[in-house]
Amino acid sequence: MTAAPEADAPVVARLSTLDRFLPVWIVAAMVVGLVAGRLVPGLGAALGAVAIEGVSLPIAVGLLVMMYPVLAKVRYDRLDTVTGDRRLLGASLVLNWVLGPALMFALAWLMLPDLPEYRTGLIIVGLARCIAMVIIWNDLACGDREAAAVLVAINSVFQVFAFAVLGWFYLTVLPGWLGLPQADLDVSPWQIAVSVLIFLGVPLVAGYLSRRLGERAKGRDWYESRFLPVIGPFALYGLLFTIVVLFALQGDAITSRPLDVARIALPLLVYFAVMWAGSYALGKAIGLGYERTTTLAFTAAGNNFELAIAVAIATFGVTSGQALAGVVGPLIEVPVLVGLVYVSLALRRRWRTGAAHSTNGASR
């Protein structure tokens, strides 16, 4: 992924050739994964068997390759400018840990009242806040890399301590208060911590050490103009590999139940649209600039599908409706958030044009 060109350039012209055709590559990766999972006997089972502590190693490899280049781009000496922004941090915590889970709970019950397994799976997806793929969406949309690193780290800490508690609340306590059927969620903090360590900890440490050691040895100019362009494309290679593996794992389940997939997809579409648009509106209302508003929107709209799928499979089984709902999550999230990347880039130009007009008007 290349650095963002001038703000007044056309949106498409600001993207590299690789980025420009990103939707094509992603759709192709999804199709390849689904077809492979459907037609190759035992492929999904073989990929799923290569796991440690419930974490799929092929998916872990893809995510590590995807996240490392983006985290290597972060200027870690600027993180203090993010941690001091209480507006951003407060808005992110409210969106991710109050509004997001509550919205998914409401949508699941409103749209899937007759499908308890899928409903439970969607609620689990809503509890798993994104700590991996959101970094690449934010980078493609020219969001604030340092802010994304901080918000993802905060979500990771909250995830370890809050996921099981919120699962108990939304699946057992709140339905009981409302006179609705209840469900149980058996997940340990250790399982969540392992997911956080693999999907965020390893690439974060690698990215930090790369910048520190690279700048110390060659200087910042060499690091950013020579080293980063070499490793940058691997973020998208890792993304595409992850998508192929993910859909190959559940290709048969997705393609054999298209109507069920459609029922699950509807609340997910509403969820992503409301969370992203609402976050954008909130960011602008509290005075954040384009970069941090974009970061706020993508970190609030994205979900940690790796954790949601692992928890659903560990608790309810690999063939359960809960697991299928978890798998449908990225089936919908990936193309929707790719589309929102392009919407963000279009908003970026209008945002900056509006800011320039305001500045010119004030100077008269």
Q: Is residue 278 part of a domain?
A: yes
What pairs with residue 40 in β-bridges?
Answer: none
Q: Is residue 176 part of a domain?
A: yes
Q: Is residue 179 part of a domain?
A: yes
Only one residue has tokens 């384009």, namely 290
Confidence of residue 1 (pLDDT cuts 50, 70, 90): very low
How is residue 3 written in tokens?
A: 């650095």
Q: Is residue 169 part of a domain?
A: yes
Q: Is residue 10 part of a domain?
A: no
* Angle at CA of residue 97, ends 52 and 245, nearest 5°: 35
Does the pLDDT of residue 280 top 70, yes or no?
A: yes
In Å, what is the CA distance from 121 to each residue of 183, 196, 270, 327?
A: 11, 20, 16, 9
Does the pLDDT of residue 3 top 60, yes or no?
A: no
Residue 101 near residue 166, CB atoms below 8 Å: yes
Separation between Cα atoms, residue 330 and residue 30, nearest integer Å: 10
SS3 per residue for 90-113: HHHHHHHHHHHHHHHHHHHHHHCC
CATH number for 252: 1.20.1530.20
Q: What percent of the chain is modeled with pLDDT above 70?
A: 89
pLDDT per residue as tens digits for the range 306-337? 778 778 877 787 678 888 898 888 888 888 99
How is residue 139 written in tokens?
A: 């980078």
Mean pLDDT of the 193-220 span: 89
pLDDT of residue 363: 47
Instruction: Please report, as a single letter, which amino acid is at residue 152.
Output: V
Question: What spatial distance separates the first Cα and last Cα of the chain, rounded to whole Å?
Answer: 39
- 68-82, 90-104, 246-260, 265-279: range with lowest mean pLDDT: 246-260
pLDDT of residue 123: 95
Domain holding 57, by residue range, is 19-350
Separation between Cα atoms, residue 342 and residue 14, nearest integer Å: 11
pLDDT per residue as tens digits for the range 208-265? 999 999 999 999 999 999 999 999 889 889 888 988 887 887 777 777 888 999 999 9
Quote the mean pLDDT of the chain: 85
Whole-prediction pTM value? 0.82
Mean pLDDT of the 9-38 span: 73
Residue 212 near residue 76, CB atoms below 8 Å: yes
In Å, what is the CA distance from 103 to each residue of 122, 126, 128, 170, 337?
A: 11, 8, 13, 11, 18
Q: Is residue 355 part of a domain?
A: no
Does the pLDDT of residue 9 top 50, yes or no?
A: no
Top-confidence residue, 45 or 152: 152
Q: Which residues contact 317 (CB under 8 A, 6 or more apart)?
A: 323
Separation between Cα atoms, residue 219 and residue 216, nearest integer Å: 6
CA dihedral 47, 49, 51, 55 (to 10 degrees): 70
Confidence of residue 130 (pLDDT cuts 50, 70, 90): confident
- 105-119, 174-188, 314-328: range with lowest mean pLDDT: 314-328
Ramachandran quadrant class, 143 (left: phi over 0; alpha: psi -120 to 50; beta: rest) = beta
- Number of folded domains that form the chain: 1
Q: DSSP label at 2?
A: P
